[in-house]
Chain A
Amino acid sequence: MDDLLREFLTESGEHLDTVDAELVRFEQDPNNETILRNIFRLVHTIKGTCGFLGLPRLEALAHAAETLMGRFRDGLPATSASVTLILLTLDRLKEILADLEATGTEPAGSDDDLISALERMAEGSAEASEPAAPPPRPEPVLPDPVIRELKPGEVSLDDLEAAFLAAPGPEDVDFAAPPPVAAAAPAPKPAAPAPQVSAAPVEAVEAEPARAEKAEGGGTEGETTPGETTAAAKGNQTIRVSVETLEHLMTMVSELVLTRNQLLEIARRHEDSSYKVPLQRLSHVTAELQDGVMKTRMQPIGNAWQKLPRVVRDLSAELGKQIDLVMVGAETELDRQVLEVIKDPLTHMVRNSADHGLESTAERVAAGKPARGTIRLAAYHEGGTITIEIADDGKGLNLAAIRQKAVQRGIAAQADVDRMTDAQVAKFIFDAGFSTAAAVTSVSGRGVGMDVVKTNIETIGGLIDIATTAGRGTTFTIKIPLTLAIVAALIVRAGEHRFALPQVAVLELVRVDAGAQRVERINGAPVLRLRERLLPIVSLTGLLGQSQAGSETEQAGFVVVAQVGRERFGILVDEVFHTEEIVVKPMSVKLRHIPMFAGNTILGDGAVVLIVDPNGVARQVAQGVQGSGGHAETDDDAAGEVVDNKTTLLVFKGGQGSFKAVPLSLVTRLEEIECAKVEWLGGRALIQYRGRLMPLVPADSAITIKSEGTQALVVFSDGERAMGLVVDEIVDIVEERLDIEIAADRSDLIGSAVLRGRATDIINIAHFLPLAYDDWARGLKRPEQLSTILLVDDSAFFRDMLTPVLKAAGYQVITAASAEAALNTLQSEPKIEVVVTDLEMPGRSGFDLVAAMRRAEPRLAALPVIGLTGTIGTDAVERARTLAIADLVAKFDRAGLIAALAELGAETVSKAA
């Protein structure tokens, strides 16, 4: 039953998709009998199967839909409303099927609403007696097995082998047409009607539509027969094979290819020719086998397009635009893996074209264009790639607005933008930032999610391009490899190991040495002059963290010039071997997080090599990781001390998918807000939060506040002030030992740490507070410590914020919330060597604390003190001097504080010496 059900689910899913598309066609071409017949047959099949499998809900729905479609066939005009209703029914069927797939049983629920609507629609122009006819039909159809059992039992096996393929026909006939009779005396009857039907097929029935009841029954058969015949005929030529079986076959063939390569290698080395001939044959067979297996993975791209007519229809109703969808080359085949990846982007782009690309009907008419807009989808093979075009004849992109937006968003300078060609400008819409609300409203379109589309396409080694003409429309061109399973790759050596670089990304190879073509450096960043242009260079060894003596490897070697999207860069390798068709094997789950690799493969000599992902490299180039970040990671000197206790951290995604964290103790709340509620005042985002205005600050410059949907916020508050930190996504709360490594000089980060196995930036909240409130520093306090530091601050917020900073700098930290507490702690903790105190505390101020210390026992009196203050005024400096406060540091001056502590440390050491 399980298998049967699974089969049913797959099949019904496919049928429903087809019906979806066909219905839309039918609506446009209501006189096309063939389409209607096809639809009718599919729904009928689903209904019959449901009855057979005991799925009453599905059956009842399908039945009601079928009844209505029966009316169409009788001449009821197919109105938009009725088609919509049937489409709704199909959606419901799909929902139920999805549930069925998930749970194995039909979900409870009632479809009376749809059924009665369908019935009403059907009866609207139907005469009567409808219900009578259809109900019998349910049981019939599928019980083929039953019939077959009956037949042999009774008579006439001949029927089955009859050349006119009555096989599916009679079964339907005996049950559907004269149902009660069939039930009463099954065997003989079928034999009789079958020939009739097949002999006097469709036209006869069609000719006399008056015979409502019988005719419909007969008609069904008549029409069903040809359809099912083809299906049956096809059925004989195709079989369903599970994807795993194919994948396994593919793997085995890949291994066979590798083995063959090894054998050829050996044969080349030996002169013994006796086995050269069979080997040759083996080689040919293997190649053909490989081809054949590859073909089994191919699917027509039409499968990915199947849902589009429906999408366009719905959109055109929703937007009130008249849209034609033209699809060319639906039979073009490509690897199913690729198909899966591009399915959603394609839908998205067609949606975009309909929504933003095409003008409203009125605008079109005004512009002298046909009222109906056209979206054209085309696919064709070109070399080893497949090209897909999505074109609309709409208004084209508003390039001026994009230019303006690009400058406004700081993506490019005005001068650059002016110099750029239109094609270059158009590509800005693929930038992540452009997909935001502001972009959509002011640029009038094509914003939403284009960056996602691009990313998806690039992950499979594809390229996307755009051409636009004002007033004439926009065309997107996507080029993707036919298959992901086998790619041409350049085998290179970097350091001691070989790597494979996918050929699609490679533009050219340049030999570099110490002479004419040499790698030059700007502030350590390698570049190459290539035809009067500067090309940024990364060395593969450096990128992979292997180079010990980075500079020397760059003296000679090859630069592989690669292009990913708009980025052009050179990858420096030591040696280039050859290109080879490699079988891509996925990375282990344990290694999939490394962005540099797209997979691995086994070469002809049996060695495993890693396939470098050009997209990953491009990202690293853009971030300049090789020069700074990469080294920072390995720079042990910068590594901070281990903090002994665990800290609970809130981990979130902030900007370009990177992980960031902030101590949970600092966080007041996590919020999910409606983006529509964000208000902009004086260029700052605000939201009304608990009766007050709360400023929103992005956690990373790469984050933009979303325009629609909801936005995740991390709310920090101190006293009456609150700030919302805008993050992409809240990920997790982790409790871990915090080993912070001080990061590059970025004021918004304290450093990075490894949390749950992934590198995470610890953000410095102190950086963000002044962005929200210029005066947050005032009236708040924080403390710090040296080897062991006593941090005195009345604000838990600042204590929590500074503790990790200080720990990262290598100090032990003890905190105190007030001058009194600080004095007590000082008495009980002899190991405290430095006191860092806020000077502006309520009650006893920091000055009072220091004064008290100076009056106390010698040990305390001699302790160095660093004062923290919001404003460093002359009087404060004076008071500090009289109290022998070693240094005054402005609040939020993280670096200044660390420097002051370091200075103190040096002094202590020199004193000790």
Chain B
Amino acid sequence: MQAANANATGARASANGVETGATNDFVTVFVGETLFGLAIERVHDVFVPSGVTPVPLAPAEIVGLLNLRGRVVTAMSLRRRLGLPDAEAEGEGGKASPKMAIGLEQAGETFALVVDGVGEVLKLGADSREAVPINLDPRFRNLATCVHRLDGRLLVILDVDALLGFTAAGAKAA
């Protein structure tokens, strides 16, 4: 968790540096109607997840394991991570293949973040950047680093480490 916080701070610090005019690239993904952004340097893959093996007794966020080019990857649902209900497509116990997944890496392990869809890559500067509104659901607030105002919609930037940091306590218990 500390690492996540440190990273969040780091992200904020670098984002402050952004005000000098630099831009950051984000991969956009959506869940329902909401648009989320992930720092592009953290995104290793974008793929269609298939053949997901569910893991019984696992935390709810974990959809299962899948084979990504010979590596076993832990798939995690962004919906469940955000406390949202499963989309209809993956409603039946996560059996039906979700639409898209983002390959992320943390501490040498690969994770697949299952999302409803993947959008374009956006180059964003500090001018559109806003702090996370304080009235957001805590689940969102803990995972987001900032919000960007786009044309007609908002982009919530997610903190990858916080996103993947959810079972730190559970893992310690093991």
Cα distance A258–B168 when bound, in Å?
31
Which residues on the B side are within 8 Å of A659 (C-beta)?
A: 173
Known A588-B109, A590-B59; contact A608-B72, beta-carbon cutoff 8 A: yes
CB–CB B74/A588 < 8 A: yes
User: Counting chain A CB atoms within 10 Å of each CB, which of B54, B107, B167 scores highest?
Assistant: B167
Which residues on the A side are within 8 Å of B54 (C-beta)?
A: 497
Which residues between 543 and 583 of chain A lie within 8 Å of chain B, taking CB atoms? 544-546
User: Counting chain B CB atoms within 10 Å of each CB, which of A255, A608, A609 scores highest?
Assistant: A608
We find that the number of chain A residues with CB closer than 8 angstroms to chain B is 30
Which residues on the B side are within 8 Å of A544 (C-beta)?
A: 56-57
Which residues between 691 and 711 of chain A lie within 8 Å of chain B, taking CB atoms? none
The dominant DSSP class at the B interface is mixed
Cα distance A398–B107 when bound, in Å?
50
Q: In the assembled complex, how far is the CB of residue A37 from the closest CB belonging to chain B, in whole angstroms?
A: 45
Query: Is A435 an interface position by the 8 A CB rule?
Result: no
CB–CB B67/A592 < 8 A: no
Cα distance A545–B54 when bound, in Å?
12
Cα distance A113–B72 when bound, in Å?
56
Interface string of B57-76 (1 = CB under 8 A from A): 11100101111001110101
CB–CB B67/A602 < 8 A: yes
Q: In the assembled complex, how far is the CB of residue A427 from the closest CB belonging to chain B, in whole angstroms?
A: 27
Query: Is B91 an interface position by the 8 A CB rule?
Result: no
Query: Is A610 an interface position by the 8 A CB rule?
Result: yes
Cα distance A342–B155 when bound, in Å?
53
Cα distance A592–B171 when bound, in Å?
6
* Contact pick for B171, options A585, A589, A609, CB 8 Å: A589
Query: Is A757 an interface position by the 8 A CB rule?
Result: yes
Q: Total A-B residue pairs with C-beta atoms closer than 8 Å? A: 92
Known A544-B56, A608-B53, A758-B173; contact A590-B74, beta-carbon cutoff 8 A: yes
CB–CB A608/B171 < 8 A: no
CB–CB A757/B53 < 8 A: no
Interface string of A599-625 (1 = CB under 8 A from B): 011100011111000000000000000
CB–CB B170/A608 < 8 A: no
Known A585-B72, A610-B65; contact A593-B53, beta-carbon cutoff 8 A: no
Which residues on the A side are within 8 Å of B62 (C-beta)?
A: 590-591
Query: Is B84 an interface position by the 8 A CB rule?
Result: no
Q: In the assembled complex, how far is the CB of residue B57 from the closest CB belonging to chain A, in whole angstroms?
A: 5
Cα distance A757–B167 when bound, in Å?
7
* Contact pick for B70, options A259, A609, A757, CB 8 Å: A259
Query: Is A756 an interface position by the 8 A CB rule?
Result: yes
Which residues on the B side are within 8 Å of A757 (C-beta)?
A: 59, 166-170, 173
Which residues on the A side are within 8 Å of B67 (C-beta)?
A: 602, 606-608
User: Counting chain B CB atoms within 10 Å of each CB, which of A589, A600, A757 scores highest?
Assistant: A589
Q: In the assembled complex, how far is the CB of residue B109 from the closest CB belonging to chain A, in whole angstroms?
A: 6
Cα distance A602–B51 when bound, in Å?
11
CB–CB A606/B51 < 8 A: yes
Which residues on the A side are within 8 Å of B164 (C-beta)?
A: 590
Which residues on the B side are within 8 Å of A758 (C-beta)?
A: 169-170, 173
CB–CB B72/A600 < 8 A: yes
Which residues on the A side are within 8 Å of B58 (C-beta)?
A: 590-591, 594
CB–CB A600/B167 < 8 A: no
* Contact pick for A590, options B51, B72, B170, CB 8 Å: B170
Which residues on the B side are within 8 Å of A497 (C-beta)?
A: 53-54
Query: Is A798 an interface position by the 8 A CB rule?
Result: no
Query: Is B55 an interface position by the 8 A CB rule?
Result: yes
Residue in chain B with minimal CB distance to A595: B174
We find that the number of chain B residues with CB closer than 8 angstroms to chain A is 30
Query: Is A26 an interface position by the 8 A CB rule?
Result: no
Residue in chain B with minimal CB distance to A651: B173
Interface string of B28-56 (1 = CB under 8 A from A): 00000000000000000000000101111
Q: In the assembled complex, how far is the CB of residue A262 from the closest CB belonging to chain B, in whole angstroms?
A: 10
Q: In the assembled complex, how far is the CB of residue B170 from the closest CB belonging to chain A, in whole angstroms?
A: 4
Query: Is A662 an interface position by the 8 A CB rule?
Result: no
Known A588-B109, A758-B170; contact A546-B72, beta-carbon cutoff 8 A: no
Which residues on the A side are within 8 Å of B56 (C-beta)?
A: 544-546, 594, 596, 610
Q: In the assembled complex, how far is the CB of residue A516 from the closest CB belonging to chain B, in whole angstroms?
A: 31
Cα distance A604–B99 when bound, in Å?
25
CB–CB B53/A590 < 8 A: no
Residue in chain B with minimal CB distance to A633: B57
Cα distance A258–B68 when bound, in Å?
13
CB–CB A589/B173 < 8 A: no
CB–CB A594/B57 < 8 A: yes
CB–CB B107/A593 < 8 A: no
Interface string of B146-174 (1 = CB under 8 A from A): 00000000000000000010111111011
Cα distance A588–B74 when bound, in Å?
7
Which residues on the B side are within 8 Å of A607 (C-beta)?
A: 51, 53, 67
Interface string of A722-760 (1 = CB under 8 A from B): 000000000000000000000000000000000011100
Cα distance A545–B66 when bound, in Å?
21
Query: Is A72 an interface position by the 8 A CB rule?
Result: no
Which residues on the A side are within 8 Å of B173 (C-beta)?
A: 593, 659, 756-758
Q: In the assembled complex, how far is the CB of residue A758 from the closest CB belonging to chain B, in whole angstroms?
A: 4
Which residues on the B side are within 8 Å of A601 (C-beta)?
A: 72
Which residues on the B side are within 8 Å of A610 (C-beta)?
A: 53, 55-56, 65
Q: In the assembled complex, how far is the CB of residue A617 from the closest CB belonging to chain B, in whole angstroms?
A: 12
Q: In the assembled complex, how far is the CB of residue A259 from the closest CB belonging to chain B, in whole angstroms?
A: 7
Which residues on the B side are within 8 Å of A546 (C-beta)?
A: 56
Cα distance A390–B14 when bound, in Å?
60
Query: Is A597 an interface position by the 8 A CB rule?
Result: yes
CB–CB A591/B74 < 8 A: yes
CB–CB B65/A600 < 8 A: yes
CB–CB A592/B53 < 8 A: no
CB-CB nearest 8 A-B residue pairs:
A593-B174, A544-B56, A255-B70, A757-B170, A756-B169, A758-B173, A588-B74, A757-B169
A–B pairs, 11, beta carbons within 8 Å: A544-B57, A588-B109, A589-B107, A589-B171, A590-B58, A594-B57, A600-B53, A607-B67, A608-B53, A610-B65, A757-B170
Given pairs A591-B58, A602-B67, A659-B173, 19 additional interface contacts (CB within 8 A): A544-B57, A588-B65, A588-B72, A590-B76, A590-B170, A590-B171, A591-B74, A591-B167, A592-B174, A594-B57, A594-B174, A600-B53, A607-B67, A608-B64, A610-B53, A757-B166, A757-B168, A757-B170, A758-B170
